[in-house]
Each structure stands twice: as structure tokens, then as C-alpha cells.
């Protein structure tokens, strides 16, 4: 019995050692009961996710947009007319305006030959008569010459040891000779010349001196057969005073002059070019096709012999047109349409034989109802009775 009891104790001790003791046994029992009642169904084991392959995006080519141009495509043509612009800084701005004004004429090229700070007084700085002679003798094609000077010419002129003050009698004589040298150089080459007068300036004294110079330009250039273009009226107000703002070529109010009171803005240069552009187009249209614009000159004096290019020639041609006299000396482009319509005098007394403008009114005075009505309206200032259906009938319709 003792051996049997000892064997049972040894067996129990070995069992405890194998199971980890009573605590482990209790834990195993609890774990087994938990798994029996509460364990969730086993989830199937899935394979490890494979890395996602990146697919290159589909590149769609953008089609070029179709641009519809509103402006007409002007075909490329050969340049047949070369407009050479000369002068000072104002002439440089005028050339820019002519580029814009003649943009619709691909057969016309504007050649910039202006020299800022130049004039006819300081020949030591830039000698314009000499430069014009060299330009006309060079290979430069010149169909029409345009010149604008005078801004920098209010300076004394040196004649040897003598110094002549601006606008003095001797100063005007020397200045006139230099204007004649340029005008006669163009006339000798039979190239039309357009001399542009200086515009008004903000400085009143400068503007007054430019008025004198503009008159001299007009007289000497027209005598040589050139044309004078006056810019004064386009840059003054209603009282003939300098105006920095005014209507542009489209009629919109714009700033035409810079803050210095001298130079043009872009809109001002375009407006100044408008006056010159009209003369240039008239010359180009009057000239034969594919030919250089030339002036007929007298073989004796070298001055233009056409009657319309002589001083006062245009006015005489207008008088001949009004009187019905044929004008054989005009170009074909100008013979197709008259320069002016019927001319009515704005001053002077009307002829006694002419019927007065208010003849019907004066005849109606003193005759019946018409006389009473006229006396009531014009004598007493009483408005006439409204007429049904007329604008002055404010009565409520019945």
C-alpha cells in the first residue's frame, strides 16, 4: 500500500511539473472555455496584396485653335511710294503718326530721317540744306518729302563776326534763304515737298514766334511750288488758344500734348499725321500708276510751271470751276470731281435784285388771317394753337 501511495504522489508531482502548476492549469481551462463560447469563426487567410501597377496617363494632343481674323489680309505688294520725313523731334513723332495713318497702304513706305534738336539756325550742329541736297543726290528713293522744323530755331544766327537776334530783319533774311535752299532743292529734282507748320505751344511767347515762322514757311514753300500744311487749328480751343486735350481722329476727347507743352502724345501725333495724310493720298492718287510723283517745271527758272502750283493757283482754279470755265491744266484725278461746290459769299451786301430770304413772310403781313397769326407769333410771342396729332398737342385724348 505504501509503495502504491508513493507512486501515485510521484505521478501527481510529475503531472504538475508538466502542466506548469495549478495556475497554468486554471488558465488553460479558462482559455479553452472562452474559445468554446466566444471565439469568432476563423477568417480565411488571404494572400499578401501585390503592389499596384501605375498605368501611364493617356496623353491627348490638343488641336490648334482656329483663329478667325476680323481684319482683312492685305496681300504683299511692292513699295511704289517712299515718303521721307525730315525735321526735328516733332517731325519724328509725325513720322510715327504717318506710319499708323498709312498702315492700310502697303505700297507706301514712310522713311524716318528726322534729327532731334536740329533746325535751320545751328548749321554747325546739323546743316539741313546740305543734308537735303545730299539726300536728293543719293540712292534713296523719294516720292514725297515731308519736313517739320522751327521748334529749335529761336536762337541767334552768326554771320561772320556779327550776331543777329531771333526774328530781327537780318535774321529773317538769312532764315528765309535757308528755307528757299531746301524748297528749291526739291523743286530742282521735281520731287513734291510738303512743309508742315509748327503747332501752337503752351509757352505764349514761343507760340507767337512760331506764327511768324509759319507765315514765312508758307510764303517761301508755295512760291517754290511746294505745299504747306497748317496744324494750328487742330491743337487750339474755341478761343484759338493752346489746348493740351481735344478730339482725336475718331472724335473722342484725348490728351494730344505731353506735359512739356511741346511734343505730341501718340493720339496727338496721329492727329497731326491726319492733315498730312490727306495731302499725301491726293498726290499719290493724282500721279500715274507705277511712276514717280514729279512736278512739271519751267526749263528757264526750274520752278514748277503747273498753274495750280503757283501762288494763289488753287483759288483761281476754284473760281474757274464755279464759273464753268474748263480747267485743262488739272490732273485727270482732279478733273473727275471739282475741288469745291458753289461758293456763297459770307460777307458783303446782297444784290438788290435778289429776293429776300423772308419774302414770303413779309408778303403775308397785312393780309387776313395769315397776318394776324404772324403778328401773334412773332409780334406778341404767343405760341400757336396745338394741332391734333402734332408734337405740341398735349391734350388728353377723348
- Cα separation, 354 vs 178, whole angstroms: 52
| CATH class entry, domain 81-298 | alpha beta
pLDDT at 378: 76
In this predicted structure, what is the pLDDT of residue 350? 47
Does position 6 have pLDDT exceeding 90, yes or no?
no
- DSSP state string for 70-122: SSPPPPP----EEEEEEESHHHHHHHHHHHHHTTT-TTEEEEEEE-TT--SS-
- Among 80, 81, 114, 77, smallest CA distance to 95 is for 114
Report the distance separating Cα 186 and Cα 297, nearest Å: 11
- Reported confidence tier of residue 87, pLDDT bands at 50, 70, 90: very high
Average pLDDT over residues 344-354: 52
Give residue 235's pLDDT.
95
pLDDT of residue 379: 74
pLDDT in tens, 186-212: 999 999 999 999 999 999 999 999 999
Give the predicted TM-score (pTM) of the model: 0.58
Least confident of 56-60, 126-130, 133-137, 355-359: 355-359
Q: Model confidence over 269-317: pLDDT tens digits?
A: 999 999 999 999 999 988 765 444 545 455 444 555 555 455 555 556 5
In 161-201, at which residue ranges do the beta strands (DSSP E only) sit? 162-164, 193-196
Question: Among 4-13, 115-124, 132-141, whose mean pLDDT is lowest?
Answer: 4-13
pLDDT at 311: 53
Q: Which of 83, 90, 64, 81 is CA-nearest to residue 149?
A: 90
Distance (Å, whole) CA 230 – CA 213:
12
Q: What is the pLDDT of residue 332?
A: 47
Provide the percentage of residues in the chain whose pLDDT is more than 90.
Answer: 49
What are the start-end ranges of the E strands in the chain?
A: 81-87, 108-114, 144-148, 157-159, 162-164, 193-196, 227-229, 245-247, 253-255
Rounded distance, CA 163 to CA 268, Å?
Answer: 36
Q: What is the pLDDT of residue 167?
A: 94
Q: What is the pLDDT of residues 371-388, one digit of tens each?
A: 777 777 777 777 777 777
Give the pLDDT band of residue 355 (cuts 50, 70, 90).
Answer: very low
The least confident of 45-54, 70-79, 335-344 is: 335-344
pLDDT, position 162: 92
Report how far residue 297's alpha carbon sits from residue 195's, in angstroms, rounded to the nearest whole number.
19
**Residue 153 contacts residue 123 (beta carbons within 8 Å):** no
| pLDDT of 10 over the 50 cut | yes
Question: Average pLDDT, whole number, for the chain?
Answer: 77
The half-sphere exposure of 89 on its side-chain side, counting CA atoms within 13 A, is 10
Residue 109 has pLDDT above 60, yes or no: yes
pLDDT one-digit tens code per residue, 215-249: 999 999 999 999 999 999 999 998 889 999 999 99
What are the extents of the domains in the chain? 81-298, 305-335
- Provide, rounded to the nearest whole percent, the portion of the chain with pLDDT above 70: 63
Q: Which three cell numbers stand for residue 311?
A: 501762288
The pLDDT assigned to 299 comes to 47
Biggest CA–CA distance in the chain, Å, is 181
The least confident of 16-25, 199-208, 248-257 is 16-25
**How far apart, in whole angstroms, are the C-alpha atoms of residue 198 and residue 213?**
8
Determine the pLDDT at residue 393. Answer: 73
Amino acid at each position: 500500500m505504501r509503495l502504491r501511495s508513493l507512486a501515485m504522489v510521484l505521478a501527481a508531482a510529475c503531472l504538475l511539473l508538466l502542466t506548469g502548476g495549478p495556475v497554468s492549469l486554471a488558465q488553460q481551462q479558462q482559455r479553452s472555455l472562452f474559445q468554446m463560447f466566444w471565439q469568432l469563426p476563423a477568417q480565411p487567410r488571404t494572400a499578401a496584396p501585390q503592389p499596384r501597377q501605375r498605368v501611364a496617363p493617356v496623353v491627348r494632343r490638343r488641336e490648334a485653335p482656329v483663329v478667325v481674323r476680323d481684319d482683312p489680309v492685305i496681300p504683299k505688294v511692292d513699295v511704289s511710294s517712299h515718303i521721307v520725313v525730315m525735321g526735328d523731334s516733332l517731325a519724328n513723332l509725325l513720322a510715327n503718326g504717318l506710319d499708323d495713318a498709312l498702315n492700310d497702304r502697303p505700297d507706301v513706305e514712310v522713311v524716318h530721317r528726322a534729327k532731334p534738336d536740329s533746325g535751320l539756325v545751328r548749321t554747325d550742329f546739323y546743316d539741313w540744306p546740305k543734308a537735303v541736297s545730299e539726300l536728293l543726290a543719293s540712292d534713296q528713293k523719294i516720292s514725297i518729302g515731308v519736313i517739320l522744323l522751327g521748334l529749335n530755331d529761336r536762337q541767334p544766327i552768326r554771320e561772320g563776326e556779327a550776331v543777329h537776334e531771333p526774328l530781327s530783319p537780318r535774321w529773317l533774311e538769312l532764315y528765309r534763304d535757308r528755307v528757299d535752299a531746301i524748297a528749291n532743292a526739291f523743286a530742282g529734282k521735281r520731287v513734291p515737298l510738303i512743309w508742315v507748320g509748327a503747332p501752337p505751344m503752351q509757352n505764349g511767347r514761343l507760340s507767337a514766334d512760331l506764327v511768324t515762322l509759319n507765315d514765312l514757311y508758307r510764303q517761301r514753300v508755295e512760291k517754290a511750288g511746294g505745299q504747306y500744311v497748317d496744324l494750328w487749328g487742330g491743337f487750339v480751343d474755341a478761343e484759338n488758344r493752346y489746348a493740351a486735350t481735344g478730339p482725336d481722329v475718331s472724335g473722342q476727347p484725348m490728351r494730344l500734348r505731353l506735359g512739356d507743352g511741346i511734343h505730341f502724345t501718340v493720339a496727338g501725333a496721329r492727329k497731326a499725321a491726319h492733315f498730312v495724310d490727306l495731302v499725301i493720298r491726293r498726290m499719290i492718287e493724282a500721279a500715274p500708276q507705277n511712276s514717280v510723283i514729279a512736278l512739271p517745271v519751267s526749263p528757264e527758272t526750274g520752278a514748277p510751271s503747273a498753274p495750280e502750283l503757283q501762288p494763289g493757283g488753287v483759288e483761281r482754279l476754284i473760281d474757274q470751276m464755279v464759273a464753268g470755265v474748263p480747267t485743262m491744266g488739272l490732273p485727270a484725278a482732279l478733273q473727275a470731281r471739282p475741288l469745291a461746290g458753289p461758293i456763297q459769299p459770307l460777307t458783303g451786301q446782297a444784290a438788290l435784285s435778289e429776293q429776300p430770304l423772308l419774302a414770303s413772310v413779309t408778303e403775308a403781313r397785312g393780309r387776313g388771317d395769315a397776318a394776324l397769326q404772324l403778328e401773334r407769333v412773332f409780334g406778341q410771342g404767343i405760341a400757336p394753337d396745338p394741332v391734333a396729332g402734332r408734337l405740341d398737342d398735349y391734350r388728353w385724348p377723348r
